[in-house]
Amino acid sequence: MTKRKTKSAATPRKSRQSVDASADVNALQAVRGKIDSLDEKIQSLIAERARYAKEIGVLKGLTSTADFYRPEREAQVLRKVVERNHGPLRNEEMVRLFRELMSACLAQEEPLKVAYLGPEGTFTQSAVLKHFGHSVHALSVPTIDEVFHEVEGGTADFGVAPIENSSEGTVNIHTLDMFLTSPLKVCGEIELRIHQHLLGRMEDIKDIKRVCSHPQSLAQCRAWLTQHLPDVEKVPVASNAEAARRARDEEGTAALAGDAAAKVYGLHILFSAVEDSEDNSTRFVVVGRKLFPASGNDKTSMLVSATGTEGPGVLLHLLGPLARFGVNMTRIESRPSRKRKWDYVFFVDLDGHAEDEPVRRALEEIKSKASLFKVLGAYPKAIL
């Protein structure tokens, strides 16, 4: 008898692997097909949204992009984005996507022009793009004065300037001082998480002879610098971007600055996130030429003084109506009035919009007591 040859066990295994691989390819193609279909629908919906946005401008008879921009409406839209979001994308990512969508829709005819304290590569520029999106025309100017003057003169629609840091307090007192004489209003605020990076052209930290940065950034990284670069000269400069430029051009110079400066000036990030505080953030104000209606979750900023009044309890007497009407004060800062020596004005931030009944009544009573009173702005609270 002849023995019957048995088939190799490897043959069916290879066949099963081929079938499994083919099934994986088919499944992958099916998922990609669903994504392509969704992309087509999303693109169609974006185009439809842009047409409706344009129609609103026509219905309202608006002739300029600045008239079309409504910060209170944008804040309401973005809050709904956060409420609807259940992942997998983070709230920050969803808000950024919708912010860019609204920015592009707004810029269909002409982009908003926004002046900011430059130069290019500063955290203020990053704040502009976070708040207004990348479809705006960002105008870099060298001083706070020019930010205000560009908006006052109509060259820019809005301006952005830093005002305070969560770790080090007031960033630029000149921002407050400008409100003493400027007719501009605060119509928005921006909170930006600040990551300070050590930037340079060198490969080894031992080659660093000096670290340049804005005084605020040096202060925000004081402990890290003391621990890692105790014998290196610390040089304050006008801006982080100026520090980055020097790091690019000078041998042995490093800079403390952000991602944007690293890209603009072609520097290595030698150490990332060297700020001392884990939640280090800076608040910026958006200035414009008019006040806007309430958004539902707002702040009010005012300037107030009791010039000529002396004695104990003057400030308590002046601001007492806030407590009586249940209005929360979130910030107060004094600045010289420039009218006479040792005479001061107070900049105060409150929870709520100036048109809200409790806030309105408190402000009316404060105004009746004050020698100087001015509502600087009522605006949506920063979103993320």
Tell which of 229, 259, 290 closes a domain. 290
Q: Which CATH number covers residue 252?
A: 3.40.190.10
- DSSP three-state, residue 81: helix
Q: In a 10 Å sphere around its CB, with 0-12 CB exposed, 13-18 middle and 19+ buried, how is residue 125 labelled? A: buried
pLDDT of residue 1: 46
- DSSP three-state, residue 62: coil
**How far is CA 167 from each of CA 41, 171, 310, rounded to the nearest angstrom?**
45, 10, 33
For residues 369 and 296, membership in a common domain is answered with yes
pLDDT of residue 342: 79
Q: In a 10 Å sphere around its CB, with 0-12 CB exposed, 13-18 middle and 19+ buried, how is residue 360 labelled? A: middle
pLDDT of residue 350: 97
pLDDT of residue 63: 67
What is the signed CA dihedral for 269, 270, 274, 280, rounded to 10 degrees?
-10
For residues 47 and 171, membership in a common domain is answered with no
Mean pLDDT by 10 residues, the chain (384 residues): 49 65 83 95 96 83 78 96 96 97 91 94 95 96 95 96 90 88 96 96 93 95 96 95 96 96 95 95 96 96 80 84 97 87 90 97 95 95 93
pLDDT of residue 19: 66
For residues 296 and 376, membership in a common domain is answered with yes
In whole angstroms, what is the distance from residue 321 CA to residue 193 CA? 34
Residue 166 lies in a domain: yes
Range of the domain at 183: 111-194+280-290
Q: How far is CA 23 from the centre of its chain?
A: 47
Tell which of 239, 271, 303 closes a domain. 271
153: left (phi over 0), alpha (psi -120 to 50) or beta: alpha
Cβ pair 291, 185 in contact under 8 A: yes
